[in-house]
Structure 1
Amino acid sequence: MIVTSAVRQAAAGSAALLFVLPVPAAVASPLGPVPRAVSSVGEPTPPARRHVDPARLGRKGTQVQRLPGAPEVPSVSALSWVVADASTGEVLAARNAHRKLPPASTLKTLFALTALPHHGPAEQHTVADAELEGIGAGSSLVGVKEGYTYKVSDLWNGVFLSSGNDAVHVLAEMNGGWESMTRQMQEKARSLGAEDTHVVSPDGYDAPGQVSSAYDLAVFGRTGLQDPAFARYCSTSYADFPAGSWSYGIANTNRLLTGADGVERYPGLLGIKNGYTSNAGNTLVSAARRGDRTLVVSVMNPQEGGGFAVYEEARSLLDWGFEAAGRVEPVGSLAPVRAKAAADPGTRTVSVTREKPAKATAPAGAARAGAEAVAPSAGTSAVARAEAESTGPSAGLPLALVGSACAAAFALWGWRRRTAHRA
């Protein structure tokens, strides 16, 4: 509560006159600075971080931290696998998560993350003969032909559904060429915290030194779900592919999505990408939603069960993840590690945390395709908003009221003096 000196003088002439004006705590008064109140409207309180040993995923063997009542981790033959919560990035369980192995066509997830934002789906491109050179022998193809004109969305259907290396070569040429695309993908992997991946051939074709890991593939899959265009392509079961004046149907080679070849479809599956080469064996990145939870699972090179074992092992890991959610402590995180300064400007301590990648910008008009947006949008902090509000036009209003009161007090005091003099 503040009483100005002018008001006190006026009050001295008449006990009936007293101006008392409250000054909000958020405004600095003429008598000295007053601490601002920080508003948190629109800023949800983040959940408390659970301690996670960042080195644990680098250990060999199965890593899991079960709580009472949690189900046993299924026994699978894959050399490497990861089960993670797509929303939080928490790794629920893993085996040899950072083991470097050939990724086969699951590397196309990183290719898509890198190249998708550069061209809109309706953009058209006429294929040149040189763009189809250098495709590896025995590659999977969608049937791209030189001289034909395709929409960019057609080429991406060829990448995700048919795993077409011919479509990858064309899109790579549209984005700077094969070598440039290789460098761009490598940089993208590092920006996402995927340190195990070394790109040699952007289509995933076997090449000396080309490796990734179950951890990195899970990172690529989780990040892809944040882009509605990526999510739409990876969850598409069937599409028409143009061939001049006509078109033909193509089907997604991910059997968990289509239910082909005797593999039962997985309920709530969102995609993402399968792969196979003689060197890599079978690889798979999958995501599925059940209720309000979305999981991402990566599986690399099962050692038993034949060519479709990768789907059944992914199925059992997804089932386990949904059943175990909330009954295991995380053993790692898919979020990239960044150094963040403490919120208090006077604090010199730097805390290292894992943060969610920024949400990718989708092409205009892209459909959401049922994939949830995992990372929250960046916004103005509560502190910044409060400071902006306290220094804006409304901040001067209480001071203006005080000034007006003082002027009224002086006017009344002068009137009383003139009246007394005339009397």
Structure 2
Amino acid sequence: MIVSSLVAALLLLPSAPAGPAAAPRPVEPVPPPATVRVDPALLHRPGTQVRLPPGVKAPPRLSARSWLIADAVTGDVLAAHDAHRRLPPASTLKALFALASLPGLPAERQHTVSEHELRGIGDGSSLVGVREEVTYRIADLWRGVFLSSGNDAVRVLAGLGGGWEATARKMQATARALGAHDTRVVSPDGYDAPGQVSSAYDLAVFGRAGLRNPDFARYAATAYAKFPAGRWSYGIRNTNRLLTGADGVRRYPGILGIKNGYTTNAGHTLIAAARKGPRTLVVSVMNPRRGGAYAVYEEARDLLDWGFAAAPHARPVGSLLPPRATLPVQAAAPPAPPAPHSAPRSVPPTAAVSVATLPDAGHGDGPHLFLPLTFVGSACVAAATLWLVRRRAER
């Protein structure tokens, strides 16, 4: 009762003239970096997808059934054609095999190959020449995978990693974790198998992820190496002609390699990456229908040339990044008030915005639930102070 009377008395006292009330600062969403994402459905549309301002050259017309070019740093897709079309990947699937298996196999570990480890290799497979009763370092076997596309080396490494079926399951899980949902793994070496498919989108995802793994990047960029054969060794050359400049295919400047492939069912396939100045691009090309055996390299070359010229102007048509999980709300300083007459920021109509919105906190002092309690507490303190002053005055 005393507190209530004091509060009432305080409220009846004349108050000093108040200055002009400060305008409350609006609470705006506080987006994390790079929250504007292009609608992923765009890359599921058939045909070529690209967004260029007027006057900028369009991407080259290619004969490949599917292709994609992206910035390897940001993951922004610059252009694509039938990006999610599911096609046999051939030995480009070895890029996914490496992503799934490299972490569990130390490069300097040694292993003596036994006869049973080389069973089950498909007829007509590309081989590096792994021999039973020969001891190899794991790094030697990986060079056999990347340079010679050796299905025999894949067999041994898969056995060391838990077995053929377990490796396929691990690859499938790795693809899903990277946001690559078009890929179905049946044979980890990329050998034609019923139901085994991937897409230009997924292959580019694997290439981009591989560049972030130092071991993968080193093997993928190796043009020549020695492969052991017991007491001697022989030279092997990378079958990616953009890397070696072999067979009349000019080496691409700044090439970082990655992986090529071929089977009768898949045709020629390729994941390639190159760096020019501060920019790194990754391309994937699947099954060119014109130009012969080396058309896959020339079409990749044309894409890279276009990409380096157009990248500063092209607007993304998609992203190689997996969809972001819901971001947790974090405490942050309230944003500064907008400048007078400032125009609201616009977002392209094709972009999807995902932001973490802070609670409506007035001036940034916390939820409104505490404001009435704070006011009552302050009023009580002020009333008690006034009461003491009056008592002293009466005495």
What's the TM-score, normalizing by structure 1? 0.70
- Counterpart CA distance in 2 for 1:104 and 1:279 is 8
Cross-structure match for 1:67: 53
- Counterpart CA distance in 1 for 2:37 and 2:123 is 48
Matches within 5 A, 1:110-259: 110-259=96-245
How far does residue 342 in structure 1 lie from its aligned partner after superposition?
4.7
Q: Is the 8 A contact 2:37 2:318 kept in 1?
A: no
How far does residue 50 in structure 1 lie from its aligned partner after superposition?
3.8
Residue among 271, 276, 287 paired with 1:290: 276
Cross-structure match for 1:323: 309
Q: Is the 8 A contact 1:337 1:353 kept in 2?
A: no
- Counterpart CA distance in 1 for 2:34 and 2:136 is 49
1:260 aligns with 2:246: yes
Describe the shift of the 1:143–1:51 C-alpha distance in structure 2 as closer, same or farther (beyond 3 A). Answer: closer
- Counterpart CA distance in 2 for 1:262 and 1:193 is 37
- Counterpart CA distance in 2 for 1:245 and 1:280 is 38
- Counterpart CA distance in 1 for 2:331 and 2:197 is 42
* Superposed CA RMSD: 1.7
1:335 aligns with 2:321: yes
Cross-structure match for 2:340: none
SS at the partner of 2:190? coil
How far does residue 234 in structure 1 lie from its aligned partner after superposition?
0.3
- Counterpart CA distance in 2 for 1:46 and 1:258 is 42
How far does residue 340 in structure 1 lie from its aligned partner after superposition?
1.8
TM-superposition CA deviations, 1:364-414 (whole Å, max 9, x none): xxxxxxxxxxxxxxxxxxxxxxxxxxxxxxxxxxxxxxxxxxxxxxxxxxx
Q: Which amino acid aligns with 1:66?
A: L
SS at the partner of 1:262? coil
- Counterpart CA distance in 2 for 1:231 and 1:353 is 32
- Counterpart CA distance in 1 for 2:32 and 2:221 is 31
Cross-structure match for 2:18: none
Give the % identical residues: 68
Cross-structure match for 2:344: none
Q: Is the 8 A contact 2:37 2:319 kept in 1?
A: no
- Counterpart CA distance in 2 for 1:353 and 1:82 is 25
How far does residue 341 in structure 1 lie from its aligned partner after superposition?
2.8
Q: Which amino acid aligns with 1:217?
A: L
Cross-structure match for 2:339: none
Q: Is the 8 A contact 1:135 1:166 kept in 2?
A: yes
Identify which range, 116-125 or 93-102, moves more after superposition. 116-125
TM-superposition CA deviations, 1:282-327 (whole Å, max 9, x none): 0000000000000000000001000100000000000010000121
How far does residue 69 in structure 1 lie from its aligned partner after superposition?
3.5
Q: Which amino acid aligns with 1:139?
A: S
SS at the partner of 2:289? coil
What's the TM-score, normalizing by structure 2? 0.75
Identify which range, 191-200 or 60-69, moves more after superposition. 60-69
Bigger RCO (CA 8 Å, 6+ sep): 2
Q: Is the 8 A contact 2:36 2:354 kept in 1?
A: no
Q: Is the 8 A contact 1:69 1:327 kept in 2?
A: no
SS at the partner of 1:221? helix
How far does residue 47 in structure 1 lie from its aligned partner after superposition?
5.2
Describe the shift of the 1:339–1:120 C-alpha distance in structure 2 as closer, same or farther (beyond 3 A). Answer: same
How far does residue 276 in structure 1 lie from its aligned partner after superposition?
0.1
Describe the shift of the 1:102–1:236 C-alpha distance in structure 2 as closer, same or farther (beyond 3 A). Answer: same
Cross-structure match for 1:78: 64
Structure 1 unmatched runs, 5+: 1-44, 355-423
- Counterpart CA distance in 2 for 1:210 and 1:51 is 30
Matches within 5 A, 1:360-375: none
SS at the partner of 2:296? helix
- Counterpart CA distance in 1 for 2:160 and 2:59 is 44
In the alignment of these two chains, the number of paired residues is 306
Q: Which amino acid aligns with 2:154?
A: V
- Counterpart CA distance in 2 for 1:229 and 1:84 is 22
Runs of 4+ in structure 1 displaced over 3 angstroms?
45-51, 351-354
How far does residue 193 in structure 1 lie from its aligned partner after superposition?
0.4
SS at the partner of 2:98? helix
SS at the partner of 1:203? coil
Q: Which amino acid aligns with 1:277?
A: T
Cross-structure match for 1:394: none
Describe the shift of the 1:47–1:209 C-alpha distance in structure 2 as closer, same or farther (beyond 3 A). Answer: same
Q: Is the 8 A contact 1:193 1:336 kept in 2?
A: yes
SS at the partner of 2:43? helix
SS at the partner of 1:301? strand
